[in-house]
Amino acid sequence: MKVKNKFIAATVQAAPVFLSKDKTIKKVISLMNQAAKNKADLVVFPEAFIPTYPFWPKDLGFGPVKKTTMDLHMELHKNSVEVPGSDTKKIGSAAKKAGINVIIGVNEKEGGTLYNTILYFSNKGKLIGRHRKLMSIDSEKCIWGNGTSEDLKVFDTEIGKVSGLFCYEHHLTLAKYALYQKGEQIHASLWGGHGFVKDTMDFACKQYAFEGQSFVIISAIHITKDMIPDSFPLKEETLWDYPGGSGIINPRGQYIAGPVFDKEEILYAEIDLEQIIRAKSVIDCSGHFSRPDIFNFEIKDN
């Protein structure tokens, strides 16, 4: 496959249409088309963007309040995405029409289980792969199942070797190294946009880019209380502190776009894959700077 050495990447910072799969997909397609009109070859969307990250308290005990959390889980499941299915066909068709590669976070449903999943679409409209979050944190465990070794893949595309992780997976050290070892060049870093992880998002993504000698494209949700319908039963019980923090970082760990906070925006930057070789001439974490004579790393297959 012939690979472009230079291309334009776009990262979306936006809010989903809260808990509405169909309306959020329409928004995704509109933003995708906007990025394509601005000459982007790749657009990245945030974590769990379809139909929303579960911002609300997820386990509030028993009794009437517990019934509310279960009702919300049912609503989230109803608006989640089957992979593959009619929703992935819509996104793929739109990607093909726009001629753009798309990486997007969705709530994926398989039977009665939900997964926090990254989907990868080529500019030909093909769903080329997915990544299910390997390890959820805190109360996310009340919502999502865990991925497996099948979810540690790097995909060959016309814009290079692409993969990604969610938020605190960037502290899952061996998962990071697995992607480094597989030759990842473009890393999608998807976040819910929580205010309390603003600093963490910044240093984790800069470290990832520097350590792995890759471009990191950060996409985070920005959502505020006034975007939430008054009919949402836990609106007042939820802290709506999601300023975002999206940006694009080069293999030296430097921002070349963003970070941006407190607004919806699409950021753009030119990706020059030759910069990866410059970075690796100093530190190649899976090559001359790895010492395989001392260390051994194995990914356990299913």
Q: Which residues are catalytic?
A: 47, 133, 167
Using alpha carbons only, give the angle 72, 73, 75 rounded to the nearest 5 degrees.
60
Can you tell me the distance from the alpha carbon of 170 to that of 173, in angstroms, rounded to the nearest whole number?
Answer: 7
Can you tell me the distance from the alpha carbon of 159 to that of 8, in angstroms, rounded to the nearest whole number?
Answer: 10
**Residue 223 to residues 130, 229, 232, 264, 268: CA-CA distances in angstroms?**
25, 12, 15, 9, 21
Can you tell me the distance from the alpha carbon of 14 to that of 20, in angstroms, rounded to the nearest whole number?
Answer: 15
Q: What is the rounded (10 degree) CA torsion for 34, 36, 39, 40?
A: 100
